[in-house]
Chain A
Amino acid sequence: MKKVTFKQQLLMELGVTLALYLFFQSLMSLGIINSYWRGIVITICINVVLTVSLNITSGFLGELALGHAGFMAAGAYISAVFSKSIALIPSVEFPLALLIGGLFAMFLGYLVSIPTLRLRGDYLAIITLAFGEIVRNVLLNIKLTGGAGGYSSIPKYTTFTWTFFIAAACVLLSKSLINSRQGRAIISIREDEIAAEASGINTNYYKKLAFIFSSFFAGVAGALYAHYMGFLQPAYFNLDKSIEILVMCVLGGMGNIMGSIISASILTILPEALRQIADYRMLVYAIVLIVMMLVKYAPQFEGLLNIFKPKKEEEA
């Protein structure tokens, strides 16, 4: 394979993004993708943002984070409050709302990252889990946003174009972060924190960076979700939601952005495709999850997967 320069790579990626956008957009304007499937495509894009951003902390930094839904909720609510209380033209208001959602989540991400500097592994997982539950609990008790009853009539600004380009931006930024010096520093912490520190990497700084980056996009995804649904409920952002994102992330491959995109798409479509067997939907989902993990990682099944994969996949 010829070596591609960074510029060529970037141009190619931008080209692919644009082509994908035009493809979906034309299918939608031709009516081949109806409004039901348009909704699914938008959900896929939101999930891609969530999964890719979680992949930065879980996949690249190597810390198990169980509170991604908390950042999403924070971004969703703050942006919803903003766009309901302020009357600007939508094309100004919506990006501002997204930005505010992202920045607020980022601020929380910074707060969460402080205890994480002292903790690793499962203790960190607990902190993030606790954080997610705290956000949900606080939201349940805030009168302004309707508490458990939910927060309704949020202007529905989210369109396919917005979501798609934000997802694309998230993917491209994540990729360039990972390929940069900072990204390599983050990966080195995952590989061996002590060795990284010994090589002069400021591990605290890079851990914070990864958390902030990841929570920013989770907040933006939340803001997109809020303005897509027009209605928010704290119950939606529970531990199951965080786990759902984590599952997408793990299934796509920790530390593999392309994998995140693919698995976010598959796992968004799968429950929809199983709608006909409504009662058994989650059961099938659970079985698929277990079987996929077994087939993917258990040594006993290694031969099985090689039928589909003649060439050895390059490690990300």
Chain B
Amino acid sequence: MSGVVMFFMQIINGLNIGSIYALIALGYTMVYGIAKLINFAHGDIIMVGAYLSLVLLNTGMHWSLATILSILGCALLGFTMEKVAYKPLRKASRISLLITAIGMSYLLQNSFQIIFSANPKPYPAFIHLPALKIGSITISSNYYTTFIVSVFLMIVLNLYIKKTKMGKAMRSVAEDEGAARLMGINVDQTISLTFIIGTGLAAVAGILYSNCYTIISPTMGSLPGIKAFIAAVLGGIGSIPGAVLGGFILGMVETLVKAYISSQLADTIVFLILIVMLVFKPAGILGKNVKEKV
């Protein structure tokens, strides 16, 4: 394989993993923007989505129905999670909310470990489209499906937030909860909806991820979760285009470093870039620099 082809293959790899990071990062950034909460359990929603669809697929269900049901299941989980664990703490300090989110993450991981055992399980991948051939580059169907689905969802989400009434409500709650409440916006409902959308996107990410790697385990969500969180911060947490951009940048850098510098030191280099980046641009790439007020 020539160097150029190799490079393009790596770019495609990067886009693939980047779009998954971006999907997860969207959920992080939306929830953060609205509830000011780093939802550590968000990464585990990916795992829940993957397992739900595995169970449904194993019953012989058609993949489209299984996918829709797992997305709905995850959205329901996100909704319940917010109502039970996060809502009562909304007035409490942010750090206690964070610890609750961590507890939630442990709870999900360990309950799934008990139900499905800690051993990784094979996942019956269902995306079987013909591979795309451009010259000497072959793109497997998983890759372009992941990319297309994620980009599509990102565009829809962006339109939803920009154009619809609920989207406007979300933006206003993110900007100033108190003022939004005074304007007659149902803040609780808006926050619930944010969680539902965020977890739904995470479920999609989980299913796409499992289709690419075909092996799932109860802890599969933690590393992509952390990476997506970093992507969200990199892009400027709270900003939706930022999360997408951050996700793609992170995926790309990670893949290229793995391919051309060192696969073992990939994470180290990615984290170093992140630190340097944040030192020079403390609010992330697309984050607004908020002036501190007295």
Residues of A within 8 A of B (CB): 58, 64, 115, 118-119, 122-123, 125-127, 129-131, 133-134, 137-138, 140-141, 193-195, 239, 243, 246-247, 250-251, 254, 279-280, 282-283, 285-287, 289-290, 293-294, 296-301
Contacts and interface: CB of A to CB of B under 8 A. Distances in A.
10 residue pairs, one from A and one from B, having the closest CB atoms: A289-B103, A298-B88, A297-B92, A286-B106, A286-B107, A130-B271, A290-B103, A282-B110, A283-B110, A137-B268
A250 B264 contact: no
A286 B103 contact: yes
Nearest to A289: B103
Contacts of A250: 95-96, 98-99
A193 B292 CA distance: 10
8 contacts: A122-B233, A126-B278, A133-B226, A247-B99, A254-B95, A280-B114, A287-B103, A297-B93
A246 B102 CA distance: 10
A127 B95 contact: no
A251 B233 contact: no
Provide the main secondary structure of the chain B interface: helix
Interface in B225-267: 226, 229-230, 233, 237, 264-265, 267
A33 B241 CA distance: 59
B276 to A, nearest CB: 9
Nearest to B234: A126
A58 B271 CA distance: 22
Given A246-B99, A247-B102, A299-B91, A118 B282 contact: yes
B275 A293 contact: no
B97 to A, nearest CB: 8
B282 A194 contact: no
Contact of B111 (A58, A125, A283): A283
Contacts of A58: 95
Given A134-B272, A286-B107, A118 B100 contact: no
Given A251-B99, A283-B111, A293-B96, A195 B294 contact: yes
A277 to B, nearest CB: 11
A31 B225 CA distance: 47
B279 interface: yes
Chain B interface category by residue count: 35 or more
A134 B268 CA distance: 5
A137 B265 contact: yes
Contact of A123 (B98, B104, B282, B292): B282
B107 A287 contact: yes
B157 interface: no
Contact of A296 (B85, B96, B268, B284): B96
Given A133-B271, A299-B91, A127 B100 contact: no
B279 A115 contact: yes
B281 to A, nearest CB: 10
Interface string B73-100: 0000000000001001101110110111
A294 B95 CA distance: 12
Contact of B106 (A115, A118, A282): A282
B111 to A, nearest CB: 6
A297 B85 CA distance: 11
Contacts of B111: 283
A76 to B, nearest CB: 19
Contacts of A285: 106
B99 A130 contact: no
B38 interface: yes
A77 to B, nearest CB: 16
Nearest to A147: B264
B274 interface: yes
A315 to B, nearest CB: 13
A251 B278 CA distance: 30
Contacts of A194: 292, 294
Given A133-B267, A195-B294, A118 B114 contact: no
B169 to A, nearest CB: 24
A75 to B, nearest CB: 19
Residue with the greatest number of chain B CB neighbours at <10 A, chosen from A118, A243, A285, A290:
A290
B229 to A, nearest CB: 8
A299 B88 contact: yes
B110 A286 contact: yes
Contacts of B264: 137, 140-141
B88 A126 contact: no
Nearest to B293: A194
Residue with the greatest number of chain B CB neighbours at <10 A, chosen from A123, A195, A247:
A123
